[in-house]
Structure 1
Amino acid sequence: MKIEKISDNKLRILITASDLRERDLDIEDLYRDNSKAHSLFWDIIYQAYLEESFDVDDSKLIIEVAPVSSDSFVVIVTRIPNNIISKKIMRENTALKNVYSFDAIEDLMNLSHRILGLFRGSSTLYKYKDKYVLVMFGYLTKKVQAIISEYGHKENTSEALLNEYGNKIIDKKAIETMCQYF
């Protein structure tokens, strides 16, 4: 597999039949909406992030696939950053407040390491009723929401209640602080 950054918002990825065999895939798997194909795509995107600093979080993606030969094809990934998307949508998304609870601090530490760099908002950590409660301000992508659901539970608790009855542990940069010290 060869990943080439064409521009700040565009990648070209060459995938060969041997790349597919290494992942126990065949070309027909890519035409179906299945977990193997999804896994390959996100592996490619993650590799592009590591190799080319191509960050797709909070972006819309356009995916184009074209055969190059009988045993290879090229995938063009175009990223459309949110600043191009309607400013109204951006204002609505950045105003979102998400509250999640965690039974153990270890769950929160593991989560913080997994989403560092994927979440671009502020976060505050509270201790409330024997649980750790993370308040996240900003837009959560479906990927980040899925990762969070592996570790914690969505809550409907208000921040005012947490400020009054909970103990604030880390203000504004809880995710970054957890990664830095744990």
Structure 2
Amino acid sequence: MVVERLGNNKVRIFISYEDLEERGIDRDEIWQNGRKVQELFWDMMEQAYLEVGFEVMGPIAVEAFTMPTEGVVVIVTQVPSIPEETDKNREEEFAADEQIITVDHSTAITFMFDDFENVLSAAKVVFSSFDLTTSLYHYKDRYFLFVNEEEMEQEDSDALWALLYEYGTMSNVTLAVLEEYGKLIIKDTAIETLNQYFA
């Protein structure tokens, strides 16, 4: 299970088909609101809280889509609600939490690939659909693609995420670690450069 915070009120969670099988959930069963699926959902929410501080408070909207061989992507959005009575202390506490969450929000993702062929395959698919700032690193015998999502619409970001997951996996390795300990292969124009030289 991989959790990524998308903003103040939204998280994206990836769960593989292997994870589902371990929980005794069939692929078709994920769309049913059975006990196992409910338990899975609240496990995901607990994981989201532990990893990125996303806490379910009030109404939420849940979107899910499947990838043919990888697993299921679930996007959970906290829906704004207006409380009947809110005292001043809770307003101030909420404002403080909002500031912390905003600071933690990331506008970049890092994907890890086991071999260079997978990097090339991902670059070819992404190049035709997106205009991105991407850097490629080599670290601990794997390849890491750092993608800046700052100017992307949310819908495009989700589509990009799903495409990259066909060839690699999301990584928690930060840009700072890659710059310090990894080897920079291509800076800022990785997707374009790979397609130029390995088309």
| Band the TM-score falls in, shorter-chain normalisation | 0.3 to 0.5
Normalising to structure 2: TM-score of the pair? 0.43
Specify which structure has the higher proportion of strand.
1
Larger radius of gyration: 1
Normalising to structure 1: TM-score of the pair? 0.46
